[in-house]
Structure 1
Amino acid sequence: MKVRRWMTAGAVAVATVAALNTVPAAAGKPYDPTSQTLGALGLRHGLQVGTAISMDALNDADDPQYRKIAATEFSSVTAENVMKWESLEPTRGNYNWGPADQLVDFAKRNRQRVRGHVLVWHNQLPEWLTGGVADGSISKPELRELLRRHITTVAKRYQGRIWQWDVVNEAVSDPWDTPPTLHYKGFWAEHLGPGYLADAFRWARAADPKALLYYNDYNIEAFGSGNPADDKTQFVYDMLRRLRAQGVPVDGVGSQGHLGTQYGNYNTFQVTEALRRFTSLGLVTAFTEVDVRSQLTEGVRAGDSEEINPRLQASAANFSVLMKACLAVRSCLSYTVWGFSDNHSWVPGWFDDPPEGLATIYDENYQPKLAYHEIKSDLILAGPPYVLPRLAPKPRR
């Protein structure tokens, strides 16, 4: 899967631009692109616009609007929690496939693609696994075999039904961690060493030859100092370059896109450059968990528009920066928001000191926010020569 091989399709792609940008119109009635969904507008560019799905919300009979939007607005879905290890195998050897199967079936009924999340992560692991390692009843060789078996079992079950797999999630530390020098972090690095990454991708490829296999992480939207000791994006870039050079079947990198309006934010060109540099390694890219949180000050909680409006505007700008950068780089295959409504966002439950929220593209009453309209306008107004159809990669063997 090399970039120069993709470029041979360039002439064909350019020739199809007119067809991709042709829009339907009823006789005597002008076409209104604003009436189209985000998913449909993304497909004009070959881009999947998706959302993470909460199965509790999807199954809530008292909240039909959630299911309606989830089924119609997006062209791809990601399991928010039900494909994580603690959900799939709560007791050793006993898999609970029901919720994950339900999500995959939901996507099939609604003609949506599925991003699998996640095969290997140091969080949300079952207690029997972490407890067994802690008390010595699970040895390191057995732990490695358990990881291989888990990846193989899950990937094989959904073979042919998962488009992109987040194979390894968040393997790299942050500059504010201890020690501050960037390093491989978490349960798997501690007990198996960094070689588990290559193992995980090879096991996933053996189990599913056709899914696109991603490394997924946060705070890699743009490069900083360029020093891998404190620039997480550079550290991940160097890591993926080494893995690719070793023949490890990494197909893509997912930049999560968890941003906040209280920080100094990126511009479109910074993010575009990061995507292009990852593309230069022969990788496809994606934004996998986009949300933009804001601090919930007393004024915000009291409904003060002078405090709320600037936050909504800053949030919309951040969502739009990531969308425009994705559109500009043909290897960026998907843009996924991490939940679409504020009443089902993970942010308030996680960021509570100080409290944060307002992180999604719909408010608590399922009304589209400014962020929704801005990324919709990005999709509508984008086109040649700067935005061309997505490239069609082949999974790396």
Structure 2
Amino acid sequence: MPSGAAGAGVTSEIDRLRRSDITVHVNVGGNINHGQVSIRVLQKRKAFPFGTCVAAWAYNDGSKGAYRDFIHQHYNWAVPENSLKWASIEPNRGQKNYQPGLNMLHGLRNHGIKVRGHNLVWSVDNTVQNWVKALHGDELRKVVHDHIVETINTFKGLVEHWDVNNENLHGQWYQHQLNDNGYNLELFRIAHAADPNVKLFLNDYNVVSNSYSTNDYLRQGQQFKAANVGLYGLGAQCHFGDESDPEPGTKQRLDTLAQVGVPIWATELDVVASDENRRADFYEHALTVLYGHHAVEGILMWGFWDKAHWRGARAALVVGDNLQLTAAGRRVLELFEHRWMTDETHNLAAGTQFTVRGFHGDYEVQVIVQGQEHTNLRQTFSLGNGPHTVNINVS
């Protein structure tokens, strides 16, 4: 984590943003020794979105059970890496295949994992299909409109977000082809009309991992917000540079983007370091600054397995066919499954009322008398931004 005063500041912000008070009151019957009663406050699920991109070719492969199991066990959000992109769905005109994406999304949703849709169109020149590049004018507009509406309807109820026009800061093919600088706004209007409930995002790079495009993204975000086209949030890809520590400057760039006044999601986080302990430090620095920023609403990594990661083993959390944890993988899981989760046990010899500072999420409260849990007294609840009180009668 960041060191010195900066580290203390981030820790304080994590506590302020991601935790709330749980006050437990216990009424103990007169014939029970308080010292024989303990209360365990156990977080079962994290509320904060922590996810990964998922490769359909691996997820849908029956022989890749370890890959699926890792996702189901460790993440609560996911984003398809390629299978929802137009070029994957319709590489040739009229030859559409939504099934790989649908199969994967149904599997993820069946395991309680929420999904970001990525992406409806991608304006970078070399990502546009050749058959689309041959279109002009009203025909191009109609084809794009129909694709967006059909894709949103196909995946309606399966995705929470859509990246509408991916990396529009770095590619404006549709705007140039149509000679219409405002067409990027029109794409949002089409998507918002197709499903007013799904949350729409811009998504771009070099906006948090470095400062090359940060101010341009601020201006674009302000433009889209002012245009009232359905923008919900900013996707910041967070592909940090080769052997580059994410810590310097990351918070300042997040502060800049937060001026738009919409949520920020880290949508494609990865770091690269040959030494896995150095990689672990880099991931910890990035995750800590992101998790400790008031505008950041969710964090998704752009992969975790060396065999399905665009940057290979030097960015991976796990390696090999058995998905063996690296030092980086152990560090990331330590953060999200231990350091930033709550599990406290209090013996009532110290008193029958106590307060736990808990991370937001789903909880189970267990009553343990003489080392045995009384399951009939178990309680569950969800902790959000406000305090929560638990009342227990032990007789």
Establish whether TM, by shorter chain, passes 0.5. Answer: yes
Distance of 1:387 and 1:169 partners within structure 2: 33
Q: How does 1:141-290 map to 2 (within 5 A)?
A: 141-173=138-170, 185-192=171-178, 193-221=180-208, 224=211, 231-263=212-244, 265-267=245-247, 270-290=249-269
1:69 aligns with 2:70: yes
Are 1:160 and 1:210, in contact at CA under 8 Å, matched by a contact in 2? no
Does the 8 A contact of 1:160 with 1:208 survive in 2?
A: no
Measured against aligned partners, the alpha-carbon deviations of 1:329-381 in whole angstroms (never above 9, x if no partner) come to 24322211112100111225xxxxxxxx4212112241222222333343343
- Asked if 2 retains the 8 angstrom alpha-carbon contact of 1:188 and 1:196, the reply is yes
The structure-2 alpha-carbon separation of the partners of 1:29 and 1:342, relative to structure 1 and needing over 3 Å to count, comes to farther
Over residues 220-241 of structure 1, what are the superposed CA-to-partner deviations in whole Å (9 max), with x where a residue is unaligned? Answer: 11664xxxxxx31111111111
Residue 118 of structure 1 deviates from its aligned partner by 0.5
Do residues 373 (structure 1) and 330 (structure 2) align?
yes
1:54–1:245 Cα change, 3 Å: same
Q: Flag the 1:202–1:20 CA change in 2: closer, same or farther, 3 A.
A: farther
The answer on whether the counterparts of 1:222 and 1:233 sit within 8 Å (CA) in structure 2 is no
Secondary structure in structure 1 of the residue aligned to 2:318:
coil
* Amino acid in structure 2 at the alignment position of 1:378: L
Q: 1:60 to 1:14 in 2, by over 3 A?
A: closer
**Distance 1:377-1:73 versus aligned 2 partners, 3 A rule:** closer
Q: Deviations over 1:12-47 (max 9, x none)?
A: x989813499xxxxx9898998xx8xxx4xx2xx31
What SS does the aligned partner of 1:358 have? Answer: helix
Highest RCO, 1 vs 2 (Cα 8 Å, sep ≥ 6): 2
Change (3 A) 1:239 1:164: same
User: What residue is the counterpart of 2:271 in the other structure?
Assistant: 292
CA distance, structure 1, for counterparts of residue 226 and residue 164 of structure 2: 18
Q: Distance in 1 between matches of 2:17 and 2:64?
A: 44
The amino acid of 1:381's aligned partner reads R
Q: List aligned pairs for 1:120-135, cutoff 5 A.
A: 120-122=121-123, 123-130=126-133, 132=134
Closer, same or farther: CA 280–345 of 1 in aligned 2, 3 Å: same
Distance verdict in 2 for CA 1:345–1:222, change over 3 Å: closer
**Structure 2 counterpart of 1:322, from 286, 290, 308:** 286
Larger strand fraction of residues:
2
Which ranges of structure 1 fall in alignment gaps of 5 or more residues? 1-12, 22-26, 133-137, 174-184, 225-230, 295-307, 349-356, 392-397
d(CA) in 1 for partners of 2:23 and 2:185?
38
1:359 aligns with 2:356: no
Name 1:353's counterpart in structure 2: none
Where do 5+ consecutive residues of structure 2 fail to align?
A: 1-15, 25-36, 342-355, 362-383, 386-395
Q: Alignment partner of 2:261: what SS?
A: coil
Secondary structure at the residue paired with 2:267?
strand
Residues of 2 paired with 1:147 and 1:20: CA distance? 53
Q: How many residues align?
A: 318
Residue pair 1:155, 1:204 contacting (<8 A) in 2 also: yes
Taking the aligned partners of 2:278 and 2:358, their CA distance within structure 1 comes to 25
Counterpart in the other structure of 2:348: none
SS at match of 2:20: helix
Q: Distance in 1 between matches of 2:71 and 2:359?
A: 27
Q: How far apart in 1 are the matches of 2:22 and 2:101? A: 36
Deviation of 1:203 after TM superposition, in Å, equals: 1.0
Partner of 2:5: none
Q: Give the equivalent residue in structure 2 for 1:176.
A: none
Q: Distance in 2 between matches of 1:32 and 1:255?
A: 32
CA pair 241-74 structure 1, distance change in 2 beyond 3 A:
same
C-alpha distance in structure 1 between counterparts of 2:184 and 2:89, whole Å: 21
Structure-2 change in CA distance of 1:372 and 1:31 (3 Å): farther
Match of 2:351 in 1: none
Q: Is the 8 A contact 1:361 1:368 kept in 2?
A: yes
Instruction: Report if aligned partners of 2:218, 2:259 keep a CA contact under 8 Å in 1.
Output: no
CA distance in 2, matches of 1:32, 1:374: 21
2-side partners of 1:322 and 1:15: how far apart? 17
Which amino acid counterpart does residue 345 of structure 1 have in structure 2?
A: H
The CA RMSD measured in Å over matched residues stands at: 3.3
C-alpha distance in structure 2 between counterparts of 1:221 and 1:101, whole Å: 31
Give distance in 2, aligned partners of 1:20 and 1:201: 44
Deviation at 1:167, TM superposition (A): 1.1
Higher Cα Rg: structure 1 or 2? Answer: 2
What is the distance in 2 between the residues matched to 1:255 and 1:188? 22
Tell me the distance in 2 between the aligned counterparts of 1:52 and 1:121.
17
Structure 1 segments, 4+ long, off by >4 Å, are: 13-16, 27-33, 382-391
Residue 243 of structure 1, CA deviation:
1.8
- What residue is the counterpart of 1:48 in the other structure? 49
Q: Distance in 2 between matches of 1:15 and 1:260?
A: 28
2:18/2:360 contact within 8 Å kept: no
The DSSP-based 3-state class of the residue aligned with 1:144 is helix
Q: Which letter does structure 2 place at the counterpart of 1:369?
A: T
Q: 1:339 maps to what in 2? A: 303
Please tell me the residue identity of whatever aligns with 2:264: T
Q: Which amino acid aligns with 1:168?
A: N
